[in-house]
Structure 1
Amino acid sequence: MKRSPAILFLLMGLVCIGLSLDARDRKAERLQRREQRRLERAVYDSLRLLRQETDSINIGYGYVKRKNLTGAVSKVEMNELQIGTYANIGEYLKGKVPGLQVMKVGSGYKYLIRGIGSLNSPTDPLFLVDGVEVMDIDFINPNDVLTVEVLKDASASIYGNRGANGVIIITTRR
């Protein structure tokens, strides 16, 4: 039995489409048109989702478009060309976010958002990696990070007293 040539399209998490390249078969031709529309719709949807993610900022309880943002929030998108020169996120964030001080302390890094907020309590910000609270972010490979958002004012109040010194939200590539 002779097998006709085929093409397989795969959009991660969205659609998997196989097309036969045998133009003599009318049924295959109809299937190709239908699958082509399905593929175009999947590509359009994925581009729309990507555009929404880059135009919006995570503020703790949802995403807000940059133009509607009222608080002091900074978003740093990790540039793949520049990440290769940094050993960790602390080095990458130095000087990129206004109000964020990154200091090397021993083998790790200390992060201060808008200076020292209290003399008696800890001054570390709250770290969230994909929505999960972590103690520090020095263990994260910078190549795995998609965006870093820093909440510096009342926008961090959704996290209560844990967010009193600011919040650093890290979204990784999944």
Structure 2
Amino acid sequence: MKTYFFSILLFVILAGFSTNAQTRIIEGQVTTLDNLPVANFEVHAKKSGAGISTDSLGRFSIVTKEKDVLLFKGKVFRNERVRINEKIIDSVFVHVNFIPTPENKKRAVGYGYVDENELINSISHMGPENEDFCNYSDIFELIRGRLPGVEVRGGGQNAEVVIRGTSSLNLSSCALYVVDGVVVRSISHISPCHVASIDVIKDAGSSIYGSRGANGVVLIETKRGGE
């Protein structure tokens, strides 16, 4: 009988050691746009059930189990997930993609995700609150000189929007154009009167478009697209 109870006790102790051995503490950082740290961002470990929010520098520390999955969730960001495996050595760096709408910019600051001044420097925005878009003869005249770090080179139908500080992976320096969520080759056909807003994203913030966004991205929302 003593041998039986000793065996049971030994099994419980070894099981405890085994469970602890499978538990890992993962540290990391969450950033967005031009490597801005994201504060108050939710991080959850699916298997361990642990949850944490990032600090003011976007850093976090969370308890995970073997082959756990970390879920990263924010109200104005695209969700991300990272699987914990043998390739990850106790640290995870996650870049989350910001959804750049005027309303989301207000929410990002309101929720305390990013500092307002840092957000302004990462995303250039122009909306009808700035001025009457109908005062301009074409879309390039509207953009020229009115968005920080943005140039319009050439003229007429062949004009191009070039974002300073971006690195080209191809022969063209032209930014990627996205109109109402659709990638287009040219924006010359768009009338300024039909424009609801223009946002320009560069550097890491354009990574959601892959290599096509290497020269930065010009996001145009038309009044028709917003209906």
Q: TM-score range by the shorter chain?
A: 0.5 to 0.7
Q: Distance in 2 between matches of 1:141 and 1:104?
A: 18
| 2:159 paired residue among 109, 112, 115 | 109
Task: State yes or no: 1:123 paired with 2:123.
Answer: no
Counterpart of 2:45? Answer: none
Counterpart of 2:135? Answer: 85
Alignment of 1:8-157 (within 5 A): 58-59=99-100, 63-64=104-105, 65=107, 67=109, 68-69=113-114, 72-79=122-129, 82-105=132-155, 107-114=157-164, 117-118=167-168, 121-157=171-207
Q: Which structure is higher in helix share?
A: 1
Counterpart of 1:22? Answer: none
CA contact (8 A) 1:113 1:165 kept: yes
Deviation at 1:86, TM superposition (A): 0.9
Deviation at 1:110, TM superposition (A): 1.4
Cα deviations across residues 88-142 of structure 1 (Å, max 9, x unaligned)? 1110111111110012335431111015733852211110110011001110011
Q: Distance in 2 between matches of 1:66 and 1:103?
A: 33
Question: Root-mean-square deviation (CA), in Å?
Answer: 2.8
Q: Distance in 2 between matches of 1:106 and 1:129?
A: 19
Q: Distance in 1 between matches of 2:210 and 2:169?
A: 19
Deviation at 1:163, TM superposition (A): 0.4
Q: What is the identity percentage for the equivalent residue pairs of Structure 1 and Structure 2? A: 36
Inter-CA distance 122–104: structure 2 relative to 1 (3 Å threshold): closer
The answer for unaligned runs of 5 or more in structure 2 is 1-97
Deviation at 1:153, TM superposition (A): 1.8
Inter-CA distance 120–84: structure 2 relative to 1 (3 Å threshold): closer
CA contact (8 A) 2:150 2:162 kept: yes
| 2:220 paired residue among 158, 170, 173 | 170
CA contact (8 A) 2:166 2:203 kept: no
Cα deviations across residues 45-76 of structure 1 (Å, max 9, x unaligned)? xxxxxxxxxxxx8439x944352455511110
Deviating 4+ runs (over 4 angstroms): none
Q: For this pair of structures, how many residues does the alignment match?
A: 117
CA contact (8 A) 2:133 2:195 kept: no
CA contact (8 A) 1:59 1:156 kept: no
The answer for unaligned runs of 5 or more in structure 1 is 1-56
Q: Distance in 2 between matches of 1:63 and 1:164?
A: 23
